[in-house]
Amino acid sequence: MFELILESKLNSIQDDLLIYSEETVERINDSVNGFINNDVGVSRSIIESTDEINRKSYKIEQECLKILGLHQPLAKDLRLGAAVLRVSIELERINDLSAYISRYAIDSNENALNYHKPPHIIFMSETVQKMLQDGVGALLNEDLQLLKRCTKNYVVVQDFYNQMFEEYNDVTNSSSHTYLILVGRNLLSMGNHVMGMADRVAYSIVGKRVMHHKLFHNVLMR
């Protein structure tokens, strides 16, 4: 009986996490599009909805803590509960970064700054979105291959940022391209947060702290 209740609650928070992650992916996409297209309306909407969407994180966290405290799950279920909790926290931080990007979009527009926005930003955004989807999918499906694809894509995000920084850093020092670099850094930070959740997801799947274990780290990153 207690096992069925625990299973039901774990399934429920996984469903909530999936919905929350999908909305987070959408916000990443919208915040970057708002910046690229100078769409102040979209940017304001992202900022104004941040507190509301992050309440879902608080709800998931509370449910996880209840499960961990009241049901005292063991082994695999314990790792799953801890992973959902960690992923929820990282998603909240990513949502905050989307709001920061939207703030940069508004500031840039209000200052009437008109400058070229290279494709690197779009490529970084798309790659981070894929990373997030793969990371959450790996947890919910216990799929190590999805997690491997997720972690390998972080290198792609870094490469896009480094290319953009090299091309526009000199310009940034003397012009309005500062916002371009700031948005790139926020997307890079999103990738960092996805890597943070990947560590816990890997532990949930294989029972080892993968990112700190040489053998499994090589499996994921190569």
- Tens digit of pLDDT for each residue in 80-137? 989 999 999 999 999 999 999 999 999 988 876 666 788 999 999 999 999 999 999 9
Quickly state the pLDDT bin for 69 (edges 50, 70, 90): confident
pLDDT for the residue 9: 83
Q: Between 75 and 217, whose confidence is greater? A: 75
Buried b (16+ CB within 10 A) or exposed e, 32-45: bbbbeeebeebbeb
Residue of 145, 113, 103, 131 whose CA lies nearest to 188: 131
Distance CA 29, CA 17 (A): 18
Q: Which two tokens stand for residue 92?
A: 């909240």
Question: Is the model's pLDDT at 71 over the cut of 90?
Answer: no
Residue of 112, 104, 115, 106 whose CA lies nearest to 39: 106
Whole-Å CA distances, 74 to 67, 78, 80, 81, 82:
11, 5, 10, 10, 11
Average pLDDT over residues 191-217: 80
Phi, psi (deg, nearest 5) at residue 76: -60, -45
Average pLDDT over residues 138-157: 94
Quickly state the pLDDT bin for 1 (edges 50, 70, 90): low
Question: Is the model's pLDDT at 4 over the cut of 90?
Answer: no
- Lowest mean per-residue pLDDT among 3-7, 159-163, 200-204: 3-7
pLDDT for the residue 218: 61
Residue carrying the six token digits 């949930």: 204
Whether the CB-CB separation of 125 and 32 falls below 8 Å is answered with: yes
pLDDT for the residue 66: 85
Quickly state the pLDDT bin for 168 (edges 50, 70, 90): confident
Question: For the chain, how many structural domains are there in total?
Answer: 1
pLDDT for the residue 135: 97
Domain span at residue 203 reads 2-221
Q: What is the CATH number of the domain that holds 29?
A: 1.20.58.220
Q: What is the pTM of this model?
A: 0.90
Question: Is the model's pLDDT at 172 over the cut of 70?
Answer: no
| pLDDT digits 0-9 by tens, 9-67 | 888 999 999 999 999 999 999 999 999 999 999 999 999 999 999 999 999 999 988 88
pLDDT for the residue 174: 45
